[in-house]
């Protein structure tokens, strides 16, 4: 009888360990992601705005998507297959946006760098405001984040 009870307790403890590790891993921040990056308009044909201070930490930890989950890295980082599905995973290497997006011209479905940033940020901010997640995500007054070029 004692062996049976000890076996049940042992199995339950192992189950709790798996649940704890899974939960911690799922919410763990990618360790190689810098807390903040500077998005610069280097190489654009026309530079109307200054650089943007982008906070990975805030976007990943404080802001939520409509399902009330932290924003996934794949909301911004991407690698599209031939069907147009984003197949990028959190464990994949991160390329700088300018490695794929040309700063001066679009190439087919691949938008030029300025448009890629603009559309991704504006659309996400607009969706967050429409979904009632926040009232603060600017999507009309871009200069609020970027500032006018001096």
Q: Structural domain boundaries of the chain?
A: 1-30, 34-146
53, containing H or E segment: strand 52-55
Instruction: State residue 150's pLDDT score.
Output: 59
Cβ(101)–Cβ(111) below 8 Å: yes
Instruction: State residue 85's pLDDT score.
Output: 92
Mean per-residue pLDDT pooled into runs of 10, the chain (150 residues): 73 69 51 78 69 82 72 85 89 87 87 86 84 77 69
Class level of CATH domain 34-146:
alpha beta
Cβ(64)–Cβ(133) below 8 Å: yes
pTM higher than 0.75: no
Cα–Cα distance between 59 and 144 in angstroms, integer? 17
Q: What are phi and psi of 125, to 5 degrees?
A: -60, -45
Instruction: State residue 27's pLDDT score.
Output: 44
Instruction: State residue 87's pLDDT score.
Output: 93
Instruction: State residue 66's pLDDT score.
Output: 66
Instruction: State residue 121's pLDDT score.
Output: 85
What are 141's two structure tokens? Answer: 């007054």
Instruction: State residue 22's pLDDT score.
Output: 60
């Amino acid at each position: 009888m004692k062996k049976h009870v000890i076996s049940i307790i042992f199995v339950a403890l192992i189950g709790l360990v798996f649940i704890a590790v899974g939960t911690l891993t799922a919410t763990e921040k990618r360790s190689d992601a810098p807390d903040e990056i500077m998005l610069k308009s280097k190489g654009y044909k026309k530079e109307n705005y200054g650089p943007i201070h982008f906070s990975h930490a805030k976007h990943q930890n404080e802001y939520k998507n409509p399902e009330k989950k932290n924003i996934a890295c794949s909301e911004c980082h991407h690698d599209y297959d031939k069907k147009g599905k984003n197949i990028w995973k959190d464990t994949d290497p991160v390329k700088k946006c300018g490695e794929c997006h040309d700063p001066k011209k679009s190439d087919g479905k691949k938008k030029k760098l300025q448009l890629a940033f603009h559309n991704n940020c504006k659309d996400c901010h607009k969706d967050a405001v429409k979904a009632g997640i926040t009232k603060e995500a600017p999507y009309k007054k871009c200069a609020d984040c970027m500032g006018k070029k001096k």
